[in-house]
Amino acid sequence: MISGDLFRRGMSRLAGAVCLITTSDAGGYHGFTASSVCSVTDDPPTLLVCMNRNVRSRETLLASKVVGVNVLAGHQHELANAFASASMTMEQRFAGGGWQPGATGAPLLAGAAVSFDCRLSESAEVGTHSVLFCEIMQVAFGAVDETLLWLDRNYHRLPLRRVQI
């Protein structure tokens, strides 16, 4: 078996969309930054989200079963940093963007490349993470021309236009 360090080094070469995973309850909005998000199936439309068990929003998300997956636009790297910061309160994190509750109550980010309003359908515990299966209830597209990627431990902007290869 390989070391965790070698695994992380290898994974740094796998580009991932930068997402703000959000949830809400009677206490307000909660959220964190994630790049471990992918599609599972289109019947029913479902996303997979990996969440570290140490994330402050974990208990709220698992209890409320409300999940927003907000894929960041190219210019939104400061929001990604804010949601990844252990020193910022939830109020500080959410002060940096325009938020509206989706049909499920999940906070959706105005200006995101795309936002998925989801309900948590299943979860599993694997090692240090919770693996979430999120059934998509609604999709909202932003009017942006770039998406934000995480690659080689840094942010990169990717144009949202077709490029011939």
pLDDT of the chain, 165 residues: tens digit per residue: 989 899 888 878 888 999 999 999 999 999 999 999 999 999 999 999 999 999 999 999 999 999 999 999 999 999 999 999 999 999 999 998 899 999 999 999 999 999 999 999 999 999 999 999 999 999 999 999 999 999 999 999 999 876 566
Q: Does 77 fall in a domain?
A: no
pLDDT of residue 162: 63
Q: Does 9 fall in a domain?
A: no
pLDDT of residue 12: 82
Q: Does 34 fall in a domain?
A: yes
Instruction: Give the tokens for residue 133.
Output: 């299966």
pLDDT of residue 163: 58
Range 87-93, long-range pairs (CB < 8 A, 24+ positions): 90/28, 90/29, 90/30, 90/31, 90/56, 90/57, 91/28, 93/31
Contact 72, 113 (CB under 8 A): yes
pLDDT of residue 165: 60
Q: Chain centroid to CA 153: how far?
A: 17
The domain total for the chain is: 1
pTM: 0.94
Q: Does 24 fall in a domain?
A: yes
Q: Does 130 fall in a domain?
A: yes
The residues, any chain, with a CB within 8 Å of residue 23's CB and separated by 6 or more, are: 29, 30, 31, 57, 60, 61, 64, 66, 67, 68, 106, 107
Largest CA distance in the chain: 49
Q: Does 35 fall in a domain?
A: yes
Q: Name the residue range of residue 38's domain.
A: 19-70+84-150
Q: Does 14 fall in a domain?
A: no
CATH code of the domain in which 88 resides: 2.30.110.10
Q: Does 7 fall in a domain?
A: no
